[in-house]
Amino acid sequence: MSFMNIVSLWPNYIVSIGYSKNYVYLYWSYATFLEVPFMTLIGRFVDKGKMFPVFLYGTISFILAYLLYIYPINCYVLFLAQTLRALGYSSFEVVTMVYATRSVDIFNRGKLMGLRNLSLSIGWTLGSLYSGTIAQIFGFKSLILSSMLFLLAAMVTFYKKQ
C-alpha cells in the first residue's frame, strides 16, 4: 500500500514543487524503464536464496527514494529518487511473486497468485483513498512520512516470518 499511496499523487506533487508535466513523464518513464533490468537482476539474487536481503534492500530503497522526494534539491536528486524507487518496486514485485509460487505446492499456486493480485488491488484502492485524505489534511510530505512507516512495518513483519 505504501507504493500506492505515493503513486496516485506523485505527479501532482512534482508539479506543485515547480516541475512541468513533461518532467513528470520523464521521471516516471525513466523509473519504469529501469524496472526491466532491475527485475531480471533481482530475480537472479532471489533464485540464489536471497529473498530476505532483496526485500530488505528494496524496502530501504523505497525509504531513501521517499526521503529524496521530500527534499528534491534539484532534478538530479529526483533521478536518483526514481532509480531507488525502481529498485524498490522491482524488489517487491519479484519477491512477492516468488514467495507466492514457492510457498505452496504446484496445485495451489494459481490460487495464491490470485490472492497476491487481489491484495495488490486492495492496496491500490486503499492507497488511493488514504493518500488523498492524508495529503488533503496534512500535505504530501506527511503522506510520504506515513508511507515510510508502512514500509518499516512491512519490513519487520517479513523479518519475523523468516
Of 95, 84, 86, 81, the closest CA to residue 44 belongs to 95
31/25 Cα distance (integer angstroms)? 10
Q: Give every CB contact of residue 12 below 8 A, 6+ residues apart in sequence.
A: 140
Residues of the chain with pLDDT under 50: none
pLDDT of residue 138: 95
pLDDT score, position 121: 87
The angle formed by the CA atoms of residues 43, 7 and 76, to the nearest 5 degrees, is 80
Tell me, what's the pLDDT at 44? 95
